[in-house]
Structure 1
Amino acid sequence: MPDRRNPFEGVTDFVSELYRMRSLGIHGALETSADNPERTHASAWVPSTDILARGDDLVIRIELAGVDPADVDLRFSHGVLTVSGTRHAGEVPGDEGAEFLVRERYHGEFRRAITLPESVTSEQIEAAFEDGLVTITVQGAAADRDDTRIEVAHRTRPTRARRKPSTD
């Protein structure tokens, strides 16, 4: 079987991952107050995302449990697919008056941006929302692409001749 390189390696939005790590560093995994303010863009939660190739198609799955499908916005512009929206902080029946000891299910705005191959058009993109999972299929986006290997010139620095200590 020929060596098949993954043309989508590193395609997830690096900035979104930095926001997630920043949020974890600032707020920690354990938030002890139920009065936490709604997160800003800089501390937005980042939903878990899987990206896989199924034949020639690229499949993107984004976990959005607790998000109303009407609150999900999917856009494609200049080769970037952006999924954004809001998860509202709703009370679960029976939680009235309860004090949260651990609150890890973030609410507020989210955003994921994924760069797609240059040849992709909006007509190739289909999306479905089922059981808290958005599945986006980009037809033909994972087809083998002709890529060109660029040779990296190997240059070594000239070694300096060491001076021998004088014995004078």
Structure 2
Amino acid sequence: MSDLYFGTDLFSEFDRLQQQMASLFGGFPFSIRSGRSGAFPQVNIGSTDDSIEIVAFAPGADPASLDVSIDKGLPTISGERGSAQPEAGDDTRTDAQERFVGAFRRVIELPQHADPDKVTARYTNGCLTVSIGKRETSKPRAITVQ
């Protein structure tokens, strides 16, 4: 028989400990790849053989309000998203609002092999796709064996 005895369910104690840790470190990511809670726009970053692809999800943003720039090798996506609701009257109150409204700015760190001189951006169906070319020296190439 075991010498250890827990007066309550062990799994509920672990759950309680996890909740306490989450509240203690609330707002701080647990890993380097974790994003900020509530960061807008959310982004996916991937790559092909020729480019690095950044997809920023910004539904409701006016394409004319979006700005993409690169400074010191760091691409910045900024803009503004207005409210999708009609102006509320005096008798209307908001009980909950989960949709982000207002100005935003995201700075993304690129790998060394990105070429900031080869950048294109397009906005389609609420997604801003930024394509950044790779330097020729970093692209895969076949070596002929003699």
Query: Which amino acid in structure 1 is aligned with residue 107 of structure 2?
Result: A
Which of 44, 51, 64 is equivalent to 2:45? 51
Q: Which has the higher contact order (CA 8 A, sep 6+)?
A: 1
Normalising by structure 2, we get a TM-score of 0.60
Corresponding residue of 1:113: 107
Percent identical residues: 25
Q: Which runs of 5+ in 2 are unaligned?
A: 1-31, 141-146
Which of 49, 61, 69 is equivalent to 1:75? 69
- Contact kept in structure 2, 1:86 and 1:109, CA below 8 Å: yes
Taking the TM superposition and a 5 Å limit, the aligned residue runs for 1:87-106 are 87-92=81-86, 98-106=92-100
Distance 1:132 1:143 in 2: 30
- Contact kept in structure 1, 2:66 and 2:79, CA below 8 Å: yes
SS where residue 76 of structure 1 aligns? Answer: strand
Distance 1:123 1:104, change over 3 A: same
Distance 2:104 2:43 in 1: 12
Which of 44, 63, 70 is equivalent to 2:57? 63
Normalising by structure 1, we get a TM-score of 0.53
Corresponding residue of 1:125: 119
Query: Which amino acid in structure 2 is aligned with residue 79 of structure 1?
Result: G
Question: How big is each residue's C-alpha offset from its partner over 1:60-119, in whole Å with a ceiling of 9 and x where there is no partner?
Answer: 1001111101111111011100101111235348x6554333210011111111122335
- After superposing the two structures, state which structure 1 stretch, 65-74 or 116-125, moved more: 116-125
Task: Give the superposed CA RMSD.
Answer: 2.7
SS where residue 103 of structure 1 aligns? Answer: coil
Aligned length: 106
Question: How big is each residue's C-alpha offset from its partner over 1:31-84, in whole Å with a ceiling of 9 and x where there is no partner?
Answer: xxxxxxxxxxxxxx5211000112332111001111101111111011100101
